[in-house]
Amino acid sequence: MGGKPVKSIKTGLNRAVVKAGLGDGVSTYTLRHSRITHLMQQSVPTWEVAGMAGTSEKMIRDHYGHQHPDHMQRGGECEVMG
């Protein structure tokens, strides 16, 4: 605030959320989740998303893989058994 460095991301984010009128549901997790989701929806490779997020590619695949446009792409090739 006032041109000074932010000492705490959470404090800085909370002030920004209040100023923007975004409500109580916005947190650092919300921003992280949204960023990863948008990257996956834009077909960014999972290894690249993992690097940006500072986590494993397995975690990205397991938790966000369904967001990628290629997820279940081959599903249309299967016939439904009935």
Interval 27-60: pLDDT, tens: 878 888 889 999 998 989 999 999 999 999 999 9
Do the domain assignments include residue 63?
Answer: yes
Tokens of 43: 């077909």
Q: How many CB atoms lie within 10 A of CB 45?
A: 13
35 or 73, greater pLDDT = 35
How many domains, in total, are found in the chain? 1
Distance CA 75, CA 55 (A): 28
Question: Can you give the pTM of this predicted structure?
Answer: 0.64
Coil, strand, or helix at residue 19?
helix
Q: Which domain range does residue 60 map to?
A: 9-68
What confidence tens digit (pLDDT) does each residue in 55-69 have? Answer: 999 999 898 888 877
Q: Please report, for the chain, how many H helices and E strands are present, in that order.
A: 4, 0
Place of tokens 């986590």: 55
Is 54 contained in some domain?
Answer: yes
